């Protein structure tokens, strides 16, 4: 492995430790990584057969979940170790039934990689999308252990395809097979002479489609909606909330219901949002003590229920596409046949580009555009229903990635 890469990792590790003194999220990761090896030693023995799943964060976990579930049910005598790099994944899924042991991935040093792999000796390792750690992957390869990468998406501006990207490029060859989301990614891999690749599509389509197979009923949302047209704003950030609050306060008919699920549910931000609204509103945490039918806005100050709430949407707004944060999951409302409004920053999200082209999604950049699109979708039921149908059809037509991966593993 490149000396420069290892020096860079050491510097990054030092930077994280410094950052942990100022940032609670970074601190959780630093402290969690300090416990990884003791957790593994307590829960994995040399006699155990293991599988290893690695995800950068929560989004990649959800992306890999359809494959994880089948592997869990197939390898019933194996211990499954799930690792995260980000606290936002670990903290939410540290008790998932998919895995026997959930840990933070140690920093990618040669020493850590050797110790980690020697403890696990995984029969199969599954990485999701893009979190490529050369020392871990090279150690897997040197020990002749199987690894695959699923739902991979590559761009030509990534270091794998640059003259200085040799360390990361070499790491890709530790995967015995890579399943890409699209043909462009496959072609990019072929330019570096990696050919063990299949265009499978994105497992997220299979993941969100499975949402239709479960009961998505939420009695308190039904009571709040009260058979009225409902706009659900999911994973919102302040810049999107500004648009919503202005619209609700100045333009919205009392016949329209709004559900807002902020990305940040700290009490200070939730209370500030509620205080700015000039119409009757209720928090999730107040739902058992308030009359829901009379409120016009329902604010979701909890996690874990947004996907089911989208089932009640007639129109959805998905946050993250207006500021510096990335666009959040638009496939979750799309599977329910809902037209979607997003911000104008979506270049790295091919599904957004696709649904915009299909007239199921609408991009806005300011209050005037937001108001115009939302007014049109509210008033024009035919356009609203057709846009939602376009989105649900898009989800259905892109399923199947999981089957291709399982075919390769001989499990279908």
| Residues 291-325: tens digit of each pLDDT | 999 999 999 999 889 999 999 999 999 999 998 88
Sheet holding 50-55, edge to edge: 101-104, 79-84, 50-55, 124-128, 146-152, 177-180, 197-199
Q: Which CATH number fits domain 41-201: 2.160.10.10, 3.30.360.10, 3.40.50.11720, 3.40.1790.10?
A: 3.40.50.11720
**Residue 288 has which token pair?**
């058992």
398 has a pLDDT exceeding 70: yes
224-250, pLDDT tens digit by residue?
999 999 999 999 999 999 999 999 999
Number of neighbours of residue 10 by Cβ within 10 angstroms: 12
Q: Which of 8, 93, 80 shows the shortest CA–CA distance to 304?
A: 93
Question: According to CATH, what is the number of the domain 217-397?
Answer: 3.40.50.2000
Residue extents of the structural domains in the chain: 41-201, 217-397
Catalytic site residue 60?
yes
pLDDT score of 31: 85
Q: 42, 60, 293, 383: which is the annotated catalytic residue?
A: 60
Say whether 217-397 and 41-201 share the same fold. yes
Q: Band the pLDDT of 412: cuts 50, 70, 90.
A: low
Q: Are strands 340-342 and 315-318 parallel, antiparallel or unpaired?
A: parallel
Measured over the CA atoms of residue 323, residue 326, residue 332 and residue 336, the dihedral's sign is: positive
The predicted structure's pLDDT at residue 131: 86
Percent of all residues in the chain with a pLDDT value above 70, rounded to a whole number: 100
What global pTM score does this model have?
Answer: 0.85
Q: 32 with 87: CB under 8 angstroms?
A: yes
């Amino acid at each position: 492995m490149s000396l420069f890469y290892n020096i860079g990792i050491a510097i990054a590790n030092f930077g994280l430790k410094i950052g942990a003194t100022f940032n609670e999220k970074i601190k959780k990761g630093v402290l969690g990584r300090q416990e990884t090896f003791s957790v593994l030693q307590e829960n994995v023995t040399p006699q155990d057969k293991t599988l290893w799943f690695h995800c950068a964060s929560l989004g990649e976990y959800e992306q890999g979940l359809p494959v994880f579930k089948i592997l869990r049910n197939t390898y019933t005598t194996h211990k499954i170790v799930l690792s995260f790099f980000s606290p936002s994944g670990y903290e939410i899924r540290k008790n998932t039934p998919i895995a026997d042991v959930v840990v933070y991935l140690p920093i990618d040093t040669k020493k850590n990689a050797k110790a980690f792999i020697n403890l696990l000796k995984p029969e199969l390792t599954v990485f999701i999308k893009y979190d490529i750690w050369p020392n871990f992957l090279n150690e897997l390869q040197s020990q002749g252990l199987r690894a695959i990468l699923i739902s991979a998406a590559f761009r030509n501006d990534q270091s794998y395809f640059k003259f200085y990207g040799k360390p990361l490029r070499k790491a890709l060859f530790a995967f015995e097979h890579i399943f890409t989301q699209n043909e462009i990614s496959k072609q990019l891999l072929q330019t570096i002479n990696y050919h063990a690749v299949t265009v499978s599509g994105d497992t997220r389509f299979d993941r969100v489609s499975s949402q239709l197979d479960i009961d998505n009923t939420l009695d308190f949302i039904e009571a709040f909606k009260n058979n009225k047209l409902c706009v659900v704003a999911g994973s919102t950030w302040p810049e999107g909330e500004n648009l919503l609050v202005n619209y609700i306060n100045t333009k919205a008919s009392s016949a329209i219901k709004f559900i807002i699920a902020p990305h940040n549910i700290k009490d200070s931000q939730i209370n500030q949002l509620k205080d700015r609204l000039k119409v009757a509103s209720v928090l999730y945490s107040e739902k058992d003590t308030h009359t829901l039918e009379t409120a016009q806005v329902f604010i979701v100050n909890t996690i874990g229920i947004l996907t089911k709430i989208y089932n009640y949407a007639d129109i959805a707004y998905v946050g993250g596409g207006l500021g510096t944060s990335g666009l959040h999951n638009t496939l979750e409302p799309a599977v329910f046949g809902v037209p979607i409004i997003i911000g104008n920053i979506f270049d790295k999200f091919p599904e957004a580009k696709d649904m915009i082209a299909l007239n199921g999604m609408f991009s806005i950049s300011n209050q005037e555009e937001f108001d115009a699109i939302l007014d049109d979708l509210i008033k024009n039921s035919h356009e609203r229903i057709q846009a939602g149908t376009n989105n649900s059809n898009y989800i259905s037509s892109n399923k199947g990635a999981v089957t291709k991966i399982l075919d390769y593993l001989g499990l279908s």
